[in-house]
Amino acid sequence: MDRQHSASSTSPTDPEQAARQDYDVIVVGGGSAGCVLAARLTQDAGVRVLLLEAGAATADLPEFVAHPPAWPTLGETSANWGDLTVAQHSGSPLHGPGPRVMLPRGKGLGGSSAINAMVFARGHRTGYDSWGDHGAKGWTFDDLLPYFQRTETAVGGAPGRGTGGPLTVAPTAEPNEVLLACLDGAIETGQRRAHDISGGLEEGFAPVDLNIVDGRRQSAADAYLTPVLGRPNLDVVTGATAHRLLFDGQRCTGVEYGVDGRVVTVRAAHEVVLTAGTIGSAHLLLRSGIGPERELREAGVELFHALPGVGRNLHDHPLVNLVLRARRTVPAPRGNHGEIIGLLRSTPELDGPDLQILFADLPFPNPVAPVDNGFSIGVSPLRPYSRGTLRITSADPYAPPVLDPGYFTDERDIRAVLSGIETARAIARSAAVAAWGAEEVAPGPDVTDAEALALYARTGLMSYCHPVGTCALGEDEVSVVDSTLRVRGLEGLRVADGSVIPSIPSNNTNATVYAIAERAAEFVTRSQT
């Protein structure tokens, strides 16, 4: 059977056939990182790779996945796992608990790159300075730069950008007029106009690079996986939920997974690499008895390897929106809705930007009142101090984990977001934006004191969909993976996705995940020689 054709089916490779094969590497998770690993490792024809993905093949995802303006609706489809956090901290005993927050993550080949907002930005270089705080070596921005470059063909050729990677990235050629007005308003109010806000070296406001090619989304599956599905040394099984990892002594030797009501066991002669994302990879480790001893025993899971950092350090970018009604009709979106961003500092003494301002050509849902014709100015604290946890309640692979990102539990994040709201309001009052007849609906012009704005932030937030940190990188006792992404204390097992990020950088994290995966492929290849 032709491999390219078979990739459109629910299971490109028959699971029973896969169980009879001898694989060198098994990659668990077919999202951004998994697609990179599958493509790079199989460049060596002598390395047999199996890629397991719990969701659907690309052709079986909702057809509007490829339509850039449709991304806000994808969280309601089978392409999303449908995770919700526990009730978050409202900060007010009188208000009661805060909201449960949707935490979208992709389910299907391409993972979150198939449902995200397609922003492709490295974040400012200073956002990586703390990655070595727990002893990790070789993970500065400069260390990652060759891998960032390896991922991309950056249209426009700005200094330091890649020219031959699988992903074709560029700002939109014609941003929505209302977003250009917001950009003009930012410059009018004294903000810097950046040249390449996606490259990692600048602060200020500018159109951001997007994973959109010829008007269609370009996911990791499109860029990395689909072109290599014909390789005879690559098998892909979709609809495959990993149940647990298998070990011989301290060496990981395979994976047990479920597909179509069957339980299948596959073996890896060399390595198993987890690329199931910040939620999926930690979830699988915990179900396999790898994690904090007390929590595992409370969940009824037998301890295999004590590793207290698994599931700890969960954090994310919260997004708080200034929602504006417009008297002038906002043009229909052509791109991803959020085509222009700003990176700035909440206080001038910081060493780099800790806020993102996002201009969006749609009025995000808000707790105050619905808006039919309008737009949003989003504010996100990019280097949050707040931390949370991922826990399990049983070894059942189909039971969702308990997710608590702990949004705004650290007051420093509240101070940052209040600074961002002040900046957003200044832009909204500019002459350029006033020409659209903009009127603030949420939080509302009468909400001005810090306590009320803090309550709005805590109760009206959205996830910016950038969870990281549950299998953090480092060399100390709280770290889960070492400097080469090996799970500490075990052999033949790595994690290579957003879960290893110890401290979230100042970006929409997909570009960083691609770079991590490119570097992981190099680690795995070197270890086999």
- The three-state (H, E, C) secondary structure of 213-275, written as one string: ECCEECCHHHHHHHHHCCCCCEEEEECCEEEEEEEECCEEEEEEEEECCEEEEEEEEEEEEEC
pLDDT attached to residue 349: 97
pTM: 0.96
Average pLDDT of every residue of the chain: 95
11 pLDDT higher than 90 = no
Do 154 and 267 sit in the same domain of this protein?
yes
69 pLDDT higher than 50 = yes
Average of per-residue pLDDT across 477-481? 97
pLDDT attached to residue 5: 31
Do 129 and 65 sit in the same domain of this protein?
yes
Q: What is the pLDDT of residues 182-202, one digit of tens each?
A: 999 999 999 999 999 999 999
Q: What is the pLDDT of residues 19-46, one digit of tens each?
A: 778 899 999 999 999 999 999 999 999 9
Do 3 and 68 sit in the same domain of this protein?
yes
Dist CA 89 CA 93 (whole Å): 10
Do 236 and 333 sit in the same domain of this protein?
no
Do 162 and 303 sit in the same domain of this protein?
yes
Residue of 124, 283, 315, 466 with catalytic role: 466
Dist CA 259 CA 241 (whole Å): 7
93 pLDDT higher than 90 = no
Q: What range defines the domain where residue 40 resides?
A: 1-81+103-168+217-312+468-529
Do 113 and 91 sit in the same domain of this protein?
no
Pair of tokens at residue 442: 């949420």
Of 441, 463, 485, the position where a domain reaches its end is 463
Domain count, the chain: 2
pLDDT attached to residue 12: 60
Pair of tokens at residue 288: 């396999």
Do 188 and 335 sit in the same domain of this protein?
yes
Cβ contact 227:240 at 8 Å:
no
pLDDT attached to residue 397: 96
Q: What percent of the chain has pLDDT over 90?
A: 93
Do 330 and 445 sit in the same domain of this protein?
yes
Catalytic, 466? Answer yes
Q: What is the pLDDT of residues 156-178, one digit of tens each?
A: 888 999 999 999 999 999 999 99
End-to-end CA distance of the chain: 32
Pair of tokens at residue 6: 């078979």
136 pLDDT higher than 90 = yes
Do 304 and 227 sit in the same domain of this protein?
yes
Helix-helix angle 411-428:177-188, to 10 degrees: 100
pLDDT attached to residue 116: 98
pLDDT attached to residue 404: 98
Of 435, 463, 491, the position where a domain reaches its end is 463
Average of per-residue pLDDT across 212-233? 97
Could you tell me which residues come within 8 angstroms of residue 282 by beta carbon, excluding any fewer than 6 positions away? 291, 310, 311, 390, 401, 470, 471, 499
Of the two residues 418 and 93, the one the predictor is more confident about is 418
Q: What is the pLDDT of residues 280-322, one digit of tens each?
A: 999 999 999 999 999 999 999 999 999 999 999 999 999 999 9
The CATH number for 355's domain is: 3.30.560.10
The CATH number for 508's domain is: 3.50.50.60
1 pLDDT higher than 90 = no
